A and B are shown apart, each in its own frame.
Chain A
């Protein structure tokens, strides 16, 4: 996001793109378009002795992605830019998707690149491995705790055209939606939460269609329902 230009410039194109996609789709992008989210979903399906829906102090870990956004995507790249160097810090030190889909295949296929790998490459392989191991236990740990793009799109969830609609009148409180949610939230209470990735599993599990994923402006009544983050 921050690298690639000769001179530091306000990233109008990237911000405009994020604004328009955020406003239309919100975190539906995380649920349906992100390749690393899909990989985490696959790993989570591997049977493991215990799966954790949530754990103590987990909600505080969810704030980490905003710190990653502030420090690695905005702060450090800006500092680097002022020094005349453009460094995409998030891609460089944390992004597991780049390592999995770009780094490992390219390094495996290219002998010249293999000769150049050093600490940074192994650090990123370590981050990727840790996240994949954690995915055995917790669903989508990268999306929950670290992804800065998810943090950005999450901010749009309350106003995005793709939204989760909840009808209190038809809900029978069976709890199926809560048990299938990959983000570990309660879709009945947090249907507008920045954590909801609009995957629609709660809607599919709902026996009374109290929850549905919709596209368009919210109904008048939906706008007045309470939602907690």
Chain B
């Protein structure tokens, strides 16, 4: 993989990642992730 291709892929993915992250934040997905992370996850425990 040449340096130019590597930088190109990196740039596209950084832009895509930033867009996804921002869209996720503004569409309220953060609350879902935080809720899952802060409550007891019964699946993690092996009960759910």
A binding-site residues for B, Cβ under 8 Å? 3-6, 9, 11-20, 23, 87-88, 91-92, 95, 98-99, 102-103, 106-107, 113, 116-118, 120-125, 158-159, 217-218, 220, 223-224
Contacts of B45 in A (CB 8 A): 98-99, 102-103, 106-107, 113, 121
Contact across chains for B6 and A218 when beta carbons are under 8 A apart: yes
Cβ proximity bits B1-44 to A, threshold 8 Å, 1 near / 0 not = 11100110110011011111111110101101101100011011
Distance, CA A87 to CA B19, complexed state (A): 27
Judged by DSSP, the binding face of A is: helix
Contacts of A9 in B (CB 8 A): 27, 29
Contact across chains for A159 and B46 when beta carbons are under 8 A apart: no
Q: Total number of A-B contacts with CB less than 8 angstroms?
A: 124
Contacts of B40 in A (CB 8 A): 102, 106
Distance, CA A6 to CA B29, complexed state (A): 10
Q: Which of A19, A124, A223 contacts B20 (CB 8 A)?
A: A19
Instruction: Take A5-B32, A107-B45, A159-B10 as given contacts and tell me if A223 and B3 are in contact as well, using a CB distance cutoff of 8 Å.
Output: yes
Distance, CA A31 to CA B21, complexed state (A): 25
**19 A-B interface contacts by CB (under 8 A):** A5-B29, A11-B29, A13-B20, A13-B27, A14-B29, A16-B24, A23-B14, A98-B43, A99-B44, A99-B46, A102-B40, A102-B45, A103-B45, A120-B46, A120-B48, A158-B1, A220-B3, A223-B1, A223-B2
